[in-house]
Structure formats: C-alpha cells, structure tokens
C-alpha cells in the first residue's frame, strides 16, 4: 500500500493467508489502517505458517485439530468459516504457494496487496477453494485487475520464490512467532507491538499508548 513517505512511524503486518486468526483479524486490521492512515505507514511481511517440512497432508487427526481451531477463531472474531475443505483427503496444508501469490500481487501493484491477501484468505476459509492451486490465485488476480498472464509470469518467476522465502526469514528475524503480529518501527527502534488476534478496541488502545509513549 502506497502511503506518505514522510511518515516516520510504520507498522509491519506479519501474516499468513492460511492462518485462521489472520483471516479473522482482517476486518480489525482494515479498520486500523483507515483510522491511522495519516500517522502510520503500513507494510506487509508474509509468515510461513506451514511450509517445507511443516507442510502436511490433511489427516483425520489434523482435520479434527483444525476444525476445533477454526471454530474457536469464528467464535472470537465473528468471521464466518466453512469446514467442508477439511473433509478432503488429498488436501496438502502448505501456505508457501499462497504467500508466493500475495508476493506476486505486491510486485505487480503494491496498492492492492492487502486486498489480494484478504480475498485469498476468504477464498480458503469461507469459500473453501484450494489455496494451493495456481488457478485459484489467477482468478483472484483477475478480480483485482491483474491479467492472468501477467500474474502467472510473476508467480512462476524464480525471483518471486526467493522473495517469498526471504519474507519468512525476515519475519523470524524480527521475533515473529505467531500470526497475526504487528511490528512497530519509529526509525530508531523496532519491536513486537501486538502478537496474535486482538479486537479493534484492544489494538486501538495499544496504539494510543504507543503514541503517548513516543510523544507523537
């Protein structure tokens, strides 16, 4: 998202499109973005919730755990979840392709990065579309105004794969250990501002305390 480059304060949003708590947090984050757009520059780092060796095929036991987590997230965040995809036997829970898709959208048009991210999460958790399928990513790209061929070219580029991995490692280096997380930077210092799901009221209070502390 392009914002006033003169803003000294920034928030890095550490998120994974296949994290249920990140999906539930989306409306809160959008409201915070709007409320603080004149004070904070918002940027994104993708998480890597499940990738590489941690990616796994959906088993009955994993499905049971995920159903419980998704129901908990729905109850707290009030975002609607559909559980049908957790009945699939050939589904591989791997968030790397989805993160790579968000990076691709960001490279093509940074102004629609968050829109693409939120749409992708909703496509998975509410519409139960395959979040590892390139066709899913292409369809979402077209809904935000990116031609399929252009998106496919960027998505398949090796540089995009490397940039996605770099996002994961950058988040780890900042101390991100849960999603969603917000990392502040005032130009001199940085650190975790909020870890895990927060309501708008909770996060607004944290931000007000932060600005009082730095005498913004």
pLDDT tens profile 79-126: 999 999 999 988 889 999 999 999 999 999 999 999 999 999 999 999
Q: What is the pTM of this model?
A: 0.91
In the chain, the DSSP E strands lie at: 9-15, 40-46, 56-57, 92-93, 181-185, 190-195
For the chain, state the CA radius of gyration. 17
pLDDT at 1: 37
Phi, psi of 57 (to 5 degrees): -70, 145
Report the distance separating Cα 160 and Cα 168, nearest Å: 13
> Which one is predicted more confidently, 3 or 186?
186
- Total number of residues shown for the chain: 216
Q: Which residues contact 79 (CB under 8 A, 6 or more apart)?
A: 23, 24, 26, 27, 73, 125, 126
């Amino acid at each position: 998202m392009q914002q006033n480059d003169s803003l000294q304060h920034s928030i890095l949003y550490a998120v994974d499109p296949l994290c249920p708590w990140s999906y539930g947090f989306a409306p809160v984050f959008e409201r915070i973005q709007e409320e603080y757009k004149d004070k904070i520059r918002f940027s994104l780092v993708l998480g890597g919730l499940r990738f590489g060796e941690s990616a796994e095929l959906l088993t009955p036991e994993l499905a049971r755990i995920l159903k419980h987590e998704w129901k908990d997230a729905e109850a707290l965040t009030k975002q609607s979840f559909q559980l049908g995809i957790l009945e699939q036997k050939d589904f591989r829970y791997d968030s790397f392709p989805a993160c790579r898709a968000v990076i691709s959208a960001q490279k093509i048009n940074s102004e629609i990065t968050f829109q693409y991210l939120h749409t992708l999460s909703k496509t998975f958790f509410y519409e139960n579309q395959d979040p590892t399928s390139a066709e899913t990513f292409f369809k979402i790209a077209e809904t935000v105004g990116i031609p399929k061929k252009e998106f496919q070219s960027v998505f398949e580029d090796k540089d995009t794969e490397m940039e996605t991995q770099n996002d994961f490692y950058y988040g780890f280096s900042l101390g991100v250990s849960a999603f969603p997380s917000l990392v502040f930077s005032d130009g001199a210092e940085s650190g975790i501002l909020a870890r895990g799901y927060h309501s708008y009221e909770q996060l607004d209070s944290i931000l007000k305390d932060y600005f009082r502390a730095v005498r913004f």
